[in-house]
Chain A
Amino acid sequence: MADATATLRKTALNGTHRIHKAKMVDFGGWDMPVEYSGLIAEHMAVRTGVGVFDVSHMGDIQLRGPGSLAAVNQLCMNDASKLAIGQAHYSAMLYPNGTFVDDVVVHKLSDNDYLIVINAGTREKDVQWVRSQIGHMSGVHVNDFSDYYTQLAIQGPKAAETLQKLTSTDLSTIKNYWFTWGTVCGLHNVMIARTGYTGEDGFEIYVPSDEATSARVWAEVLEAGAEFGIVPCGLGARNTLRLEAAMALYGHEISDTINVFEANLGRYAKLEKDSFVGKAALAEIQAGGGPKRKLIGLEMVDRGIARDGYPVATLDGTKVGEVTSGSPAPFLKKNIAMAYVPVELAVVDSELAVEIRGQLVKARVTALPFYKKPKKLV
């Protein structure tokens, strides 16, 4: 029988995931683990201990050369001139109408060198977009390094202690959304970033993408985290973790039909910059009184689970919007969702309904994020 996964793309850890009996799914054309020991157990490990994710399907675009800062600042809405070397920030590439090509994390490697980490499902589109937008700019060279790295996300309150065993770099000196290069598992010049997509403390490391190295580092991370109960985590837990933290997912909360202000991401759009793709449209939306609809958080009041695409209605049944992401929240132990509704209905503590398979189920509008990691006193 033909292998149904033959046409899917695989990360260097595909064999490792299969040996460990992960449940595999087609995620945007990638054969990826959706869960190992169980989604809830994996989710809880990240909130209370540590978990490790293979996120090598994410893409990495390098912009290099004396014109790289100008290129990044034209392509992305945040202001990369504010970044120090070794610092990263959340940003997005926009279409001229102010909607999303993709959300990204921009890393400043040096004055002439930026690394933009992009989503897996939008990799080809993003690379083409970058090339098309800066083709006419001088002093900048675009490299698609997506296949060069195995990217591992080590996430959770015990992530630092776990990774610290594998590196001589003092991880306590790396602040949130900063990065450095260090020796990890004996590999030199590994990029170590204090970033992630779980709402928890954690690191993402970028190691060479050959299978042997990738499998060895994966195994060493699991061994280092064993005393903290580390578990390998799949995309299922990654999704519920980011949903609790109200982080956007392309194709759900952000897309080419949703603009920056609707998605509550205006704080990352630096309209004071001279120019960037999408700026004029955003300025116009702002001048026109802001967006007409807004992303809200919903917490189910009555029994029922809101799912992606379910209609959102007023209590009398008038359809007013749609759920973009909805799921049980394993740590919060509530059924939560994000949805777009007209701004006048985006009122925290007011009640709306989600239409769940033909029935209106009551939900409360809640402030986002649903989950914030506890802040230590010292």
Chain B
Amino acid sequence: MSYPTEYKYTKEHEWIQVDGAVGAVGITDYAQNSLGDIVFVELPKVGDVLEAGKIFGSVESVKAVSDLFCPVSGTVTAVNDALVNAPETINSDANTTWILKLELADAGQVGGLLSAADYEAFIAEETGH
């Protein structure tokens, strides 16, 4: 499993790729692997105002449903509609399959997120390896 070093991560297993004032958000490779076959993604709407640490949607595998938590606050500028019909794209490529893009309310929040190395260390601790 791989975790791009230019992304930032949450302990809830989301990643964010920041490009200027906009961030793209997805779930990590570890998350997709733990969930198994993903069959449903509940997306927010463009224009929704999201708050850091709050639930913005959900992702469902055959086995279970998991909430999605927003890494930082912001306003949704785009959602990945392709996931409605092809949610399994997240399984095949979690690192490039973004779920939503948002305009950051406070770019300073990004600094409080985990680096790839921190995130990997966090998973190692969680799984006991």
Residue from the list B34, B39, B58, B128 in contact with A328, Cβ < 8 A: B39
Is A307 in the interface zone, CB < 8 Å from B? Answer: yes
Given the complex of chains A and B, what is the CA–CA distance between A305 and B40 in angstroms? 9
Residue of B whose beta carbon sits closest to that of A237: B62
Asked if B40 and A1 make an inter-chain contact with CB atoms under 8 angstroms apart, the answer reads no
The answer to whether A39 touches B62, judged by C-beta atoms less than 8 angstroms apart, is yes
Does B123 touch A at the CB level, under 8 Å? no
For chain B, give the interface size range. 10 to 19
Do residues B36 and A35 form an inter-chain contact, with CB atoms below 8 A?
yes
Judged by a CB distance under 8 angstroms, whether A275 is at the interface is no
Using Cβ atoms and an 8 Å threshold, which residues of chain B touch A327?
Answer: 62-63
How many A residues, CB 8 Å from partner?
Answer: 19
Chain A positions 7-43 with a Cβ under 8 Å from a chain B Cβ: 23, 34-35, 38-40
A330→B37 CA distance, assembly (Å)? 10
- B36 and A330 form a contact (CB under 8 A): no
CA distance in complex: A282, B124 (Å): 53
B86 at the interface (CB under 8 A from A): no
Minimal Cβ-Cβ distance residue in A for B61: A39
Q: Is the CB of A1 within 8 A of B36?
A: no
CB interface residues, B 58-102, toward A, < 8 Å:
58, 60-65
Nearest A residue to B125, CB-CB = A1
Q: Which of B34, B37, B40, B128 contacts A39 (CB 8 A)?
A: B37
Which residues of the other chain, A, contact B65 by a CB distance below 8 angstroms? 305, 307, 357
The A323-362 residues at the B interface (CB cut-off 8 A) are: 327-328, 330, 357
Q: Is the CB of A40 within 8 A of B40?
A: no
CB-defined contacts of B58 to chain A, threshold 8 Å: 357
Q: Which residues of A contact B62 (CB under 8 A)?
A: 39-40, 236, 240, 327-328, 330
Q: Please name the residue on chain A nearest to B64 by beta carbon.
A: A307
Alpha-carbon separation in the docked complex, A151 to B73 (Å): 52
Residue of A nearest to B124 (CB): A1
- Chain A minimum-CB-distance residue to B63: A236
Across-interface contacts of A328 in B (CB, < 8 A): 39-40, 60, 62
CB atoms of A23 and B40 under 8 A apart? no
Contact indicator B37/A40 (Cβ below 8 Å):
yes
Residues of B within 8 A of A34 (CB): 36, 63
Q: How long is the Cα–Cα vector from A40 to B62 in the complex, in angstroms? A: 8
**Complex interface: chain A residues within 8 A of B37 (CB):** 38-40, 330
**B30 CB, min distance to chain A CBs, angstroms:** 12
| Chain A: CB-nearest residue to B40 | A305
- A40–B91 Cα distance when bound, in Å, is 12
Closest B residue to A40 by beta carbon equals B37
* Chain A residues closer than 8 Å to B128, beta-carbon distance: 1-4
Interchain residue pairs A-B with the least CB separation, the first 5? A40-B37, A39-B62, A328-B39, A1-B128, A328-B62
A39-B61, A328-B60 given; 12 more Cβ-contact pairs under 8 Å: A4-B128, A38-B37, A39-B36, A39-B62, A236-B62, A236-B63, A240-B62, A305-B65, A307-B64, A328-B39, A330-B37, A357-B58
The interface of chain A, by Cβ under 8 A from chain B, is: 1-4, 23, 34-35, 38-40, 236, 240, 303, 305, 307, 327-328, 330, 357
Can you list 27 A-B pairs, Cβ within 8 angstroms, ordered by A? A2-B128, A3-B128, A4-B128, A23-B34, A34-B36, A35-B36, A39-B37, A39-B61, A39-B62, A40-B37, A40-B62, A236-B36, A236-B62, A236-B63, A303-B40, A305-B39, A305-B60, A305-B65, A307-B65, A327-B63, A328-B39, A328-B40, A328-B60, A328-B62, A330-B37, A330-B62, A357-B58
